[in-house]
Amino acid sequence: MGARIRPIAQVVNVEMIDEVLRAEALATKGFMPPDEGDALYAAACSACKILPQLPIVEVGTYCGRSTVWLGAAARKYNTIVFSVDHHFGSEENQKGWEWFDESLIDPATNRLNTLPSLLATLHRANIGDVVVPVVGESKVVSAQWSEKLAMCFIDGGHGDEPARNDYLGWSPKIALHGFLAIHDVFTDPKDGGQAPYKYIYCAAIDSGEFIEVDMTGSLRILQRIK
Enzyme catalytic residues: 158
Alpha-helical runs (H) found in 97-157: 115-125, 138-144
Q: Is 58 in the site for Mg ion (CB under 5 A)?
A: no
Alpha carbon of residue 20 to chain centroid: 21
Angstrom distance (rounded) from CA 148 to CA 34? 28
Q: Which does 90 bind (CB under 5 to 8 A by kind): ligand SAH, Mg ion, none?
A: ligand SAH
Greatest Cα-to-Cα distance within the chain, rounded to the nearest angstrom: 52
- If the CB atoms of residues 2 and 102 are measured against ligand SAH, the closer one turns out to be 102
Site string for Mg ion, 124-163 (x = CB under 5 A): -------------------------------x--------
Out of 15, 47, 60, 203, name the contact with ligand SAH by CB under 6 A: 60
For 208, counting Cβ atoms within 10 Å of its Cβ (0-12 exposed, 13-18 middle, 19+ buried), the class is exposed
Q: Which does 85 bind (CB under 5 to 8 A by kind): ligand SAH, Mg ion, none?
A: ligand SAH
The order of strands in the sheet holding 174-182 is 131-135, 81-85, 56-59, 149-154, 174-182, 219-224, 210-216
Footprint of ligand SAH on 126-155 (CB under 6 A): 137-138, 155
Q: Which does 184 bind (CB under 5 to 8 A by kind): ligand SAH, Mg ion, none?
A: Mg ion
Q: Which does 22 bind (CB under 5 to 8 A by kind): Mg ion, ligand SAH, none?
A: none
Angstrom distance (rounded) from CA 185 to CA 183? 6
> Rounded to the nearest whole angstrom, what is the least distance from the CB of residue 225 to ligand SAH in the complex?
26
Candidate segments 12-20, 62-70, 71-79, 202-210, binder of ligand SAH by CB under 6 A: 62-70
